[in-house]
């Protein structure tokens, strides 16, 4: 069964408007189906907070129909928020202490914006480590996205991310390099994943940490890896949760930063994302923006309506397949109690029976 709208989080209603099935709590109670409780630690900045909610809820809801999914969003109070977003958090998000007391079957940790080269200097570092320490001991499996992956590699494995020469930004082809793992069972062996980052953990660092790499790209590096036991921690370095228009919105934001002199250079296109017609439209727009900036005039409106119809999504189905496999295996190795409660005969050090 799908996600249960157990709160009035606005994302639930938006997903309904998209045509997705979202269960009301009363109807959910009538179903004799297992519950899975999934935490969503949303560390994204204000502008992306609600979109990130929807993206991960959509990915979870489209993954499979084996259980009723209850999603529990929370964040870290050390992250600066505007009054409007703080009001949203106060109304719709849960407190970590409550989540810790009630337990989770699974946890997703999003990326975040950072302001220091060393993640340990961020104000949210120690609170994040507290959540991660608890999750690794008490939650069946934790899925780390982008910045969260870099944080775990640093604090748990001593592998510090390093800056890239240029921002890795676009949609890149990836190949499954370890087909034996259940997370990549019955998914395409060649598929795309969006990336958007200035730093990375490379293949050699994943190997030094003795992590198992499942999916990587010749251009974009490692995307999907798992912890030594094969399941306790799942690492995404890309952004398979992205909407079709997510990279276009990022590009538009950077164009606006150039137009308002918040950046000196005009942003490049996200790689492997735009067709030749769209690039031509945006090339013309660039010249108009530059002219407006030189003359101190208002920039022309961004041509969203001309670009969006041409965009293709070449990653969501495979992302949903991977997340569905993740959910399915959590369902198999947990019992009806929340937290790290394995069924009889399941080895916590090797929950999927990988024999490693």
Torsion angle in degrees (nearest 10) through CA of 244, 144, 121, 113:
10
How would you class 231 by CB atoms within 10 Å of its CB: exposed for 0-12, middle for 13-18, buried for 19 or more?
buried
239 part of the active site: yes
d(CA 307, CA 325): 33
Number of H helices, E strands in the chain: 12, 9
241 is catalytic: yes
Catalytic residue among 239, 250, 285, 316: 239
Bridge partners for 212 per DSSP: 226
163: exposed, middle or buried (Cβ count in 10 Å: 0-12, 13-18, 19+): exposed
146 as an active site residue: the answer is yes
- Under 8 Å CB-to-CB from 61, ≥6 apart: which residues? 2, 3, 15, 20, 21, 22, 69
Integer Cα distance of 169 and 93 in angstroms = 30
**Residue in 37, 146, 150, 200 annotated catalytic:** 146
Catalytic residue among 53, 200, 241, 254: 241
The residues annotated as belonging to the active site are 146, 239, 241
């Amino acid at each position: 069964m799908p996600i249960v709208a157990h709160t009035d989080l606005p994302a639930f209603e938006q997903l309904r408007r998209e045509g997705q099935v979202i269960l009301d709590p009363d109807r959910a109670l009538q179903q004799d189906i297992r519950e899975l409780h999934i935490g969503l630690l949303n560390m994204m900045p204000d502008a992306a907070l609600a979109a990130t909610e929807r993206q991960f809820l959509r990915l979870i809801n489209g993954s499979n129909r084996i259980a009723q999914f209850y999603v529990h969003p929370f964040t870290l109070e050390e992250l600066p928020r505007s009054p409007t977003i703080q009001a949203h958090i106060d109304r719709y998000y849960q407190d970590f202490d409550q989540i810790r007391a009630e337990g989770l079957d699974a946890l997703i940790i999003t990326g975040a914006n950072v302001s220091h080269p060393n993640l340990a200097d961020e104000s949210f570092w120690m609170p994040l480590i507290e959540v991660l320490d608890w999750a690794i001991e008490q939650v069946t499996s934790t899925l780390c996205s982008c910045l969260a992956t870099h944080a775990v590699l640093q604090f748990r494995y001593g592998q510090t991310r390093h800056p890239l020469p240029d921002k890795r930004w676009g949609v890149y082809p990836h190949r499954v390099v370890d087909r034996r793992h259940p997370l990549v069972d019955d998914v395409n062996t060649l598929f795309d994943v969006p990336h958007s980052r200035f730093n990375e953990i490379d293949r050699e660092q994943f190997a030094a940490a003795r992590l198992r790499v499942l999916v990587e790209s010749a251009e974009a590096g490692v995307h999907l890896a798992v912890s030594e036991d094969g399941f306790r921690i799942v690492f995404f370095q890309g952004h398979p949760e992205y909407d079709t228009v997510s990279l276009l919105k990022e590009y538009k934001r950077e164009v606006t930063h150039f137009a308002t002199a918040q950046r000196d250079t005009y942003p490049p296109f996200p790689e492997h994302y735009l067709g030749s017609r769209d690039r031509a439209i945006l090339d013309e727009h660039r010249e108009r923006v530059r002219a407006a900036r030189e003359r101190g005039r208002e920039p022309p409106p961004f041509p969203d309506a001309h670009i969006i119809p041409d965009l293709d999504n070449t990653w969501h189905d495979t992302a949903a397949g991977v997340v569905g496999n993740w959910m399915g295996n959590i369902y198999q190795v947990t019992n009806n109690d929340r937290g790290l409660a394995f069924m009889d005969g399941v080895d916590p050090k090797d929950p999927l029976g990988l024999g490693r």
